[in-house]
């Protein structure tokens, strides 16, 4: 179990370590090229799984997956920020996340069907995944255009150069991303155990939680993207903390099928709200540094990755030492603290 836990976290650890270099490469070589490279590396992962027979094979494959994540994330974020448009950038991030989540759920369902039809021949599943994984490289190569970075001339006031605006410091926003991810990802991997052992749900009822998750993301993602673009980004960002608190209360005090379903739906609604609003923040911050846009995106997304690694570890330690009450109590405290910190950090930004 310890080795499996390390295996699950390895790709994010590699991605965090390599994202600064990957951001630099995207700025120098072009985000389209690095995205295509990421897709081919991701395809190599599924191809390698066909031949994996020893534990170290899996660790090596997982490390390659981490390299592909490091190359993919800043490139995708820059492309969305550049092509999404200033008035609809949150909606662009929302649609990307919605499509990604829906496709991920569909892929898991397809894998289960293939395993059943092939009587457990996993190599066939990996080969089908390989074919599906290579298809995006053709789409990106054919349709995605490399963004043109335009350097605007310095503004003038009465013929004199205006004082240059100092862009916001990145470190506080990296910390905000880490805090949000820690709170949001504390239940990652633990929810099935919580549903079965604490709430007493059956396997079928636990599976329904993930069906609710998919529907919630598909419905709520575009709605929150529109709200972030046209109403208030700060309001949408705040939904994440409210959802963390509300879902924690439901999971802790209503441990039955309706309570778990409501808690899961609320938790996923918060995730659906955060991504478009946070994408809009990343686009604005990176826009202050046009020549370093991918590097800025990589630094900001590193905060998310670090939080995503820490969250499940912290949750497991709390649950093991003091029980479920301590787990959700700390999650609620972190959610409230994150909301206060977010209000302070985003004060300089619009809306």
% of residues, the chain, pLDDT over 90: 50
Domain spans of the chain?
2-142+170-346
* Average pLDDT of every residue of the chain: 87
- Copy the structure tokens of residue 62: 């997982």
pLDDT band with cut points at 50, 70 and 90 for residue 312: confident
pTM of the model: 0.83
Residue 149 has pLDDT above 90, yes or no: no
Q: At what angle do helices 257-287 and 233-253 cross, to 10 degrees?
A: 150
* CA distance linking residue 136 with residue 43, whole number of Å: 10
Residue linked to tokens 């898991």: 108
Quickly tell me which residue has 């836990």 as its tokens.
Answer: 5
Quote the pLDDT of residue 234. 87
Query: In this predicted structure, what is the pLDDT of residue 51?
Result: 92
Residue carrying structure tokens 């046209």: 230
pLDDT for 1 equals 57
Mean pLDDT of 168-187: 90
The tokens describing 154, both together, are: 């310095």
Residue 283's H or E segment, with its range, is: helix 257-287
197, 255 Cβ separation under 8 angstroms: no
CB 324 within 8 A of CB 198: yes
For 174, the enclosing helix (H) or strand (E) is: helix 171-184
From first CA to last CA, the distance across the chain in angstroms is 46
- The tens digit of pLDDT for each residue in 19-32 reads 999 999 999 999 99
| Spatial contact of 282 and 81, defined as CB atoms under 8 Å apart | yes
Q: Hunting for tokens 């069907």 — which residue is that?
A: 113
- Nearest CA among 263, 225, 260 for reference residue 85: 225
Place of tokens 């289960």: 112
> Over the range 137-168, which residues count as b (16 or more CB within 10 Å of their CB) and which as e?
beebeeebeebeeeeeeeeeeeeeeeeeeeeb
What does the alpha-carbon distance between residue 244 and residue 336 come to, in Å, rounded to a whole number? 9
Please report which confidence band the pLDDT of residue 162 belongs to, taking 50, 70 and 90 as the band edges: very low
What is the Cα–Cα distance from 41 to 61, expressed in whole angstroms?
10
pLDDT digits (tens, 9 = 90+) for 211-253: 888 888 888 999 999 999 999 888 898 898 899 999 999 999 9
**Could you tell me whether strands 156-157 and 160-161 are parallel, antiparallel, or unpaired per DSSP bridges?**
antiparallel
Give the pLDDT band of residue 341 (cuts 50, 70, 90). very high
Average pLDDT score over residue span 35-55: 93
What confidence category does residue 150 fall into, taking pLDDT thresholds of 50, 70 and 90?
A: low
Name the CATH architecture for the domain at 2-142+170-346: Up-down Bundle (1.20)
CB 199 within 8 A of CB 256: yes
Cα separation of 53 and 219, whole Å? Answer: 41
Q: What residues are paired with 156 via a beta bridge?
A: 161
Q: pLDDT higher for 2 or 283?
A: 283
- Rounded to an integer, the average pLDDT of 39-49 is 94
Residues 98-139: tens digit of each pLDDT: 888 888 878 877 887 888 888 888 888 899 999 999 999 889
What is the distance between the alpha carbons of residues 70 and 102, in angstroms, rounded to a whole number?
22
d(CA 312, CA 192): 13
Distance CA 141, CA 24 (A): 21
Give dist(CA 348, CA 168) in Å, integer: 8
């Amino acid at each position: 179990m310890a080795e499996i836990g390390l295996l699950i976290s390895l790709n994010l650890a590699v991605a965090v370590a390599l994202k600064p270099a990957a951001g630099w490469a995207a700025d120098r070589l072009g985000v389209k090229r690095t995205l295509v490279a990421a897709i081919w590396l991701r395809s190599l992962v599924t191809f390698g799984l066909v031949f994996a027979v020893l534990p170290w094979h899996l660790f090596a494959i997982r490390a390659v997956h981490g390299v592909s994540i490091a190359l993919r994330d800043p490139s995708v974020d820059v492309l969305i920020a550049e092509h999404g448009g200033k008035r609809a950038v949150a909606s662009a991030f929302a649609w990307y996340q919605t499509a990604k989540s829906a496709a991920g759920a569909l892929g898991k369902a397809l894998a289960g069907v293939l395993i059943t039809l092939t009587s457990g021949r996993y190599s066939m599943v990996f080969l089908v995944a390989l074919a599906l994984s290579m298809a995006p490289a053709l789409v990106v190569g054919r349709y995605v255009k490399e963004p043109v970075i335009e350097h605007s001339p310095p503004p003038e006031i009465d013929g004199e150069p205006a004082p240059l605006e100092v862009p916001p410091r990145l470190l506080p926003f990296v910390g905000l991303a880490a805090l949000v991810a820690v709170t949001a990802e504390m239940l990652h991997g633990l929810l099935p155990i919580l549903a079965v052992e604490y709430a007493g749900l059956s396997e079928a009822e636990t599976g329904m939680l993930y069906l609710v998750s998919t529907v919630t993301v598909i419905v709520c993602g575009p709605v929150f993207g529109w709200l972030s673009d046209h109403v208030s980004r700060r309001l949408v960002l705040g939904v994440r903390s409210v959802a963390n608190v509300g879902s924690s209360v439901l999971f802790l005090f209503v441990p039955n099928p309706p309570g778990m379903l409501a808690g899961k739906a609320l938790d996923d609604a918060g995730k659906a709200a955060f991504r478009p609003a946070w994408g809009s923040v990343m686009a604005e911050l990176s826009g202050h540094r046009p020549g370093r846009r991918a590097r800025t995106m990589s630094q900001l997304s590193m905060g998310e990755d670090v939080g995503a690694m820490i969250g499940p570890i912290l949750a497991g330690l709390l649950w093991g030492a003091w029980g479920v009450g301590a787990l959700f109590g700390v999650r609620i405290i972190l959610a409230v603290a994150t909301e206060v910190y977010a209000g302070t950090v985003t004060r300089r930004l619009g809306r």
